[in-house]
Amino acid sequence: MYNFEFQNPVKIIFGKGEISKVGLNIPKGSKILLTYGGGSIFKNGVYDQVKSAIKVFDVIEFGGIEPNPHYETLMKAVEIAKTESITFLLSVGGGSVLDGTKFIAAAVLFTKGDPWHILSRRAPVQGAIPIGAVLTLPATGSEMNSGAVITRVEFQEKLSFMSPLVMPKFSILDPEVIFSLPDRQVANGIVDSFVHVIEQYLTFPVNSPIQDRFAESILKTLIEEGPKVLANRNDYESASNLMWSSTMALNGLIGAGVPQDWATHMIGHELTAYHGIDHARTLAIVLPGVMHIKRNQKKDKILQLGERVWGISEGNDDDRIKLTISKTVEFFESVGIPTKLPEYNVGTETIDSICDRFKKRGYKVGEKADIGPTEIRLILEDRL
Amino acid sequence: MYNFEFQNPVKIIFGKGEISKVGLNIPKGSKILLTYGGGSIFKNGVYDQVKSAIKVFDVIEFGGIEPNPHYETLMKAVEIAKTESITFLLSVGGGSVLDGTKFIAAAVLFTKGDPWHILSRRAPVQGAIPIGAVLTLPATGSEMNSGAVITRVEFQEKLSFMSPLVMPKFSILDPEVIFSLPDRQVANGIVDSFVHVIEQYLTFPVNSPIQDRFAESILKTLIEEGPKVLANRNDYESASNLMWSSTMALNGLIGAGVPQDWATHMIGHELTAYHGIDHARTLAIVLPGVMHIKRNQKKDKILQLGERVWGISEGNDDDRIKLTISKTVEFFESVGIPTKLPEYNVGTETIDSICDRFKKRGYKVGEKADIGPTEIRLILEDRL
């Protein structure tokens, strides 16, 4: 394996009934901005649980943070946080609300320059208001990492930033929040988590058996437990296993000391930026193309994925690679997520736009930084 | 799985050459007490690497911390730390040096009462001088956890304590330190790590596939990579995998949300307390007895261990359990560690003493707290 540094201080509070502990984990005397999304927390009881657990605090609420949280919306919260001298941000929602809250946390204290530069120029975060999270949807892993992805609607840009300063101080993961999720969000969460693992695993071997086996452990668990949750939304044990898989998929551990890809995410972000397609769905579209077009470079790990996760141990290498890709596609489709561009009414024009955009940016993606406009065209044409 | 809390803020700095970064991770202006053991760090070059990396600091040295670090020795360091107004403890050694350093860190700031009570009465740690670690031996996992085990020679007592306050701020893991280790220490490290995993895994099922698979991942990696390190001490890649396995075996992750046993450790500690047997060797002696005597209670997990780790999938349950125990014994013996009491010149008198001691203490051990003097006698008699 490669040399690495790993540090993840997020306190995880996991299990049913644990939302009641939220107040105990917030510093006394904090002035809280409670952030949330479209209002599902009012229907599933999470809002009431949180509010009764933070009664002793001064709380201001900021709702309406969108999926693929909008810079424009978040900057309104930044103004409120400044005006109201907020000292703690409590994110009650899924990965989008939490990503948005991470940006708010950093933007409030980004006093030297335009906060947009945190995203557009990767300007270093200067400080951050402390964040706590009550997660309502297992998917993005944001509850135990330092990253966030923000969309600026007016520019059709979806960009990310990372800073240890925006890692939540704590994240409460009560799997019961899954009981009331619609199929679409559960399926998105399964696929998002699956592809997070793949991006840190499906590269080339560096003799890292712990990281590889942990990655395969998460993939196998998602494949087993994900469909159980879809079939029976009140299966607490499967919901727990899905939720913990999702957090472990992107908390830095399986990616420590190994090459990472992220091409699928970088290309997928553009499909969301142009067409508003759900993040996980863009990954389900793009990943099979990346696997197919980079099948030679990724050969050893695709064969390992096939054998250890999908149980494919017969046939020549080409056959096994093809079968591994089709098993992966079948899994995405089995949870109800289409994997071809036309199923989302996306055609060649968008491919042209995305390739142009990568040409202008001038950098390449993938574990060998060798996926540029030419390869992206091949990958997306494979998905027509 | 059970509800759980998990937080592990230790910064891991992993890989060859990384010892040179030690100074960068210590707060400026610190007055350092550099703690070490029997002097191997002078022979393997680690001392020189550390010293040249902390030139800018005021450093006092305290050597001679024993394997199974002695309370009596550590209290001398506590006096020095107080007299010299030490502000940072740098542990350069294996798990014993680090455990000892954790105790020093807590004892210096244990101002209300006798520091011995931290161990004898589990008195809560009141504060701790910050600790950094340069690990020279993969085994105990102390580099990424909150625990320490200390021996008081005059009482023949070996006792543990835990506190998040004594977790290292950072631990530097350079696998090259393994190159100069004697076989005995490598073998001990393999078995110690193996049994750490077992104590958190071989209990009863609670539907925790992530924790189970991670545990099995570490066991499989130890079984594969351990013997490679023994066969070729300069195999950097295997040394890396052994070292990372050892850390992951006891950093809280695989034990989060699942029942834990620790009977093997608790009984093993007595063998060290009475006879000075290496810690790992006591585990290799006791574990097969625990597996045999508690084979009904642990049946499901022993069968799972047999199938997933040792590849045992045929025969009736009894046969599979027997084979799983004997495969485990064979593994310990294959790395040169005897597993029967007479091989250490220990007989029935010691069994009597240990049972008496547990009778006096009045508590039982194991995942169901049902291993008391009677069961301990059966376990140890199984190892005669």
CA distance B372 to chain A (A): 31
Percent of chain B with pLDDT strictly greater than 90: 97
Best mutation target, B19, B217, B228, to test chain A (most A CBs within 10 A): B217
The pLDDT of residue A158 is 87
A256·B14 Cβ contact <8 A = yes
Percent of chain A with pLDDT strictly greater than 70: 100
pLDDT tens digits, residue range B128-168? Answer: 999 999 999 999 999 999 999 999 999 988 899 999 999 99
Q: Which CATH fold topology does A11-176 show?
A: Rossmann fold (3.40.50)
Q: Which residue of A has its CA nearest to B175?
A: A3
CA distance B294 to chain A (A): 26
Residues A30 and A57: their CA atoms lie apart, in Å, by 6
CA distance B64 to chain A (A): 30
Q: Environment class of residue A148 by beta-carbon count within 10 Å: exposed (0-12), middle (13-18) or buried (19+)?
A: buried
Percent of chain B with pLDDT strictly greater than 70: 100
* CATH tag for A183-381 (out of 3.90.650.10, 1.20.1090.10, 1.10.3720.10, 1.10.260.40): 1.20.1090.10
Calculate ∠ Cα B376-B377-B380, nearest 5°. Answer: 80
Nearest to B205 by CA among B298, B310, B295, B311: B298
Judging contacts by C-beta atoms under 8 Å, the chain B residues touching residue A209 are 217, 220-221, 224-225, 241
Task: List residues of B whose CB lies inside 8 A of any A CB.
Answer: 1-18, 207-210, 213-214, 216-218, 220-221, 224-225, 237, 240-241, 244-245, 248, 253, 256-257
Residues A87 and B275: their CA atoms lie apart, in Å, by 56
Judging contacts by C-beta atoms under 8 Å, the chain B residues touching residue A12 are 4-7, 256
pLDDT tens digits, residue range A13-59? Answer: 999 999 999 999 999 999 999 999 999 999 999 999 999 999 999 99
In 3-state terms, what secondary structure has residue B159?
strand
Sorting pLDDT into bands at 50, 70 and 90, what band is A168?
very high
What is the pLDDT of chain A when averaged over all its residues?
Answer: 97
Sorting pLDDT into bands at 50, 70 and 90, what band is B1?
very high
B209·A5 Cβ contact <8 A = no
Alpha-helical regions (H) of chain A: 40-43, 46-53, 71-83, 95-108, 116-120, 183-201, 209-231, 236-249, 263-275, 279-293, 299-308, 317-334, 348-361, 373-381
pLDDT tens digits, residue range B310-347? Answer: 999 999 999 999 999 999 999 999 999 999 999 999 99
DSSP for residue B146: S
Taking 90 as the threshold, does the pLDDT of residue A338 lie above it?
Answer: yes
The pLDDT of residue A156 is 86
Question: Where in the sequence of chain A do the CATH 1.20.1090.10 domains occur?
Answer: 183-381
The pLDDT of residue B156 is 86
CA distance A347 to chain B (A): 39
Calculate ∠ Cα B181-B65-B12, nearest 5°. Answer: 60
Mention every residue, 6+ apart, whose C-beta is less than 8 A from residue B356.
Answer: B373
pLDDT tens digits, residue range A226-246? Answer: 999 999 999 999 999 999 999
Mean pLDDT of A265-287: 95
B213·A217 Cβ contact <8 A = yes
Mean pLDDT of B58-87: 97
CB B337 within 8 A of CB B343: no
Sorting pLDDT into bands at 50, 70 and 90, what band is A152?
very high
Taking 90 as the threshold, does the pLDDT of residue B89 lie above it?
Answer: yes
Task: List residues of A whose CB lies inside 8 A of any B CB.
Answer: 1-18, 207-210, 213-214, 216-218, 220-221, 224-225, 237, 240-241, 244-245, 248, 253, 256-257
Q: Crossing angle of helices A263-275/A183-201, nearest 10°? A: 140
CA distance A213 to chain B (A): 6
B14·A8 Cβ contact <8 A = no
CB pairs under 8 A between A and B: 116
CB B271 within 8 A of CB B366: no
Residues B81 and B88: their CA atoms lie apart, in Å, by 9
B217·A220 Cβ contact <8 A = no
Judging contacts by C-beta atoms under 8 Å, the chain A residues touching residue B257 are 14-15, 244
Best mutation target, A6, A216, A223, to test chain B (most B CBs within 10 A): A6
Residue type (1 letter), B344: Y
pLDDT tens digits, residue range A113-149? Answer: 999 999 999 999 999 999 999 999 999 999 999 999 9
Sorting pLDDT into bands at 50, 70 and 90, what band is B200?
very high
CB B226 within 8 A of CB B190: yes
Question: Where in the sequence of chain B do the CATH 3.40.50.1970 domains occur?
Answer: 11-176
A257·B15 Cβ contact <8 A = yes
The pLDDT of residue B289 is 98
Percent of chain A with pLDDT strictly greater than 90: 97
CB A74 within 8 A of CB A17: no
Sorting pLDDT into bands at 50, 70 and 90, what band is B69?
very high
Dump the DSSP string for B201-254: HSS---S-HHHHHHHHHHHHHHHHHHHHHHH-TT-HHHHHHHHHHHHHHTSSTT
CA distance B47 to chain A (A): 21
B210·A4 Cβ contact <8 A = no
Candidates A3, A12, A221; nearest CB to B14: A3
Residues B373 and B362: their CA atoms lie apart, in Å, by 9
Residues A165 and A308: their CA atoms lie apart, in Å, by 37
CB B312 within 8 A of CB B319: no
Judging contacts by C-beta atoms under 8 Å, the chain A residues touching residue B10 are 7
Candidates A13, A210, A240; nearest CB to B248: A210
The radius of gyration of chain A's CA atoms, rounded to the nearest angstrom, is: 20
Candidates B8, B218, B237; nearest CB to A207: B237
Strand order of the β-sheet with B31-35 is A58-62, A31-35, A88-93, A131-135, A170-173, A4-14, B4-14, B170-173, B131-135, B88-93, B31-35, B58-62
Residues A359 and A351: their CA atoms lie apart, in Å, by 12
Mean pLDDT of B354-370: 95
Residues B192 and A383: their CA atoms lie apart, in Å, by 50
The complex's ipTM? Answer: 0.97
Residue type (1 letter), A69: P
Mention every residue, 6+ apart, whose C-beta is less than 8 A from residue A63.
Answer: A35, A36, A37, A38, A39
Sorting pLDDT into bands at 50, 70 and 90, what band is A173?
very high
For residue B192, give the H/E element and its range.
helix B183-201
Residues B156 and B45: their CA atoms lie apart, in Å, by 34
B257·A14 Cβ contact <8 A = yes
